[in-house]
């Protein structure tokens, strides 16, 4: 099987509501561990009071206003490192939070670290997803487009594995899979915006209960 080429920066240089659903079914890799993305949330810039970018390019959120296709990492509850991908043109301040996924590479080592968790729960929720990938503050501003420790790739279409001579053909999003959208969770502002997207029927989806999760 030929591994698809990483998404280029141009893929992320689009409106956040276009990028977010297109990331479903894609793979994010850090070192030996790779996670297939099954749930995401979109966050806007200066017009989104639920976003870290709402108050402008503060020291914490400055990377959100930089080039698209880079990681924005933040600490939630003082415990969990959460991984976001910056989207849109420079200065817009938008990003996609990777909320949940399925570990598809490095699972044996991950499972050994957390033996009490079922396979479906290893990357279920943004905190666990960040944990299995070894996400840390040092990865903020790291490109995810290749050449660095973090890489985001599309999945090849079903039944199409490439011819062994180059990157496999691939398309954005999870071709043939049903995507639904709904309200973001764990926030207290802009709760009416249906900016959470997920693959229907995936067992790895987070327990998306409304509560005050701090971003």
pLDDT in tens, 6-55: 999 999 999 999 999 999 999 999 999 999 999 999 999 999 999 999 99
Work out whether the CA dihedral 116, 119, 125, 130 comes out positive or negative: positive
* Higher-confidence position of 178 and 163: 178
Q: Could you give the C-alpha distances from 77 to 2, 29, 49, 81, 122, in angstroms and in order?
A: 39, 24, 19, 9, 19
Torsion of CA 94, 206, 142, 149, to 10 degrees: -160
* Residue-wise pLDDT tens digits, 136-163: 999 999 999 999 999 999 976 554 433 3
Asked whether the beta carbons of 76 and 144 are under 8 A apart, the reply is no
* Higher-confidence position of 191 and 83: 83
The pLDDT score that the predictor gives to residue 3 is: 81
Question: Measured between alpha carbons, how far is 164 from 154 in angstroms, rounded to an integer?
Answer: 17
DSSP symbol at 131: H
């Amino acid at each position: 099987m030929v591994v698809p080429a990483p998404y280029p920066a141009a893929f992320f240089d689009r409106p956040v509501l276009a990028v977010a659903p297109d990331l479903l079914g894609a793979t994010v890799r850090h070192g030996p561990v790779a996670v297939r993305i099954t749930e995401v949330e979109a966050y806007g810039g200066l017009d989104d009071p639920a976003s870290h970018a709402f108050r402008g390019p503060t020291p914490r959120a400055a990377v959100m206003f930089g080039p698209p296709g880079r990681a924005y990492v933040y600490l939630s509850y003082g415990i969990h490192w959460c991984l976001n991908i910056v989207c849109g043109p420079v200065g817009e301040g938008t990003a996609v939070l990777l909320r949940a996924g399925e570990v598809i590479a490095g699972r044996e080592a991950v499972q050994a670290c957390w033996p009490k968790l079922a396979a479906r729960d290893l990357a279920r929720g943004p905190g666990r997803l960040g944990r299995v990938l070894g996400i840390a503050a040092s990865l903020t501003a790291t490109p995810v487009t290749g050449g660095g420790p973090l890489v985001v790739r599309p999945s090849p279409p079903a039944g199409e594995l490439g011819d062994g001579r180059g990157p496999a053909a691939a398309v954005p999003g999870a071709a043939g899979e049903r995507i639904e959208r709904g309200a973001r969770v764990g926030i207290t502002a802009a709760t009416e915006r249906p900016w959470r997207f997920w693959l229907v029927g995936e067992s790895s989806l987070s327990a998306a209960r409304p509560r005050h999760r701090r971003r």
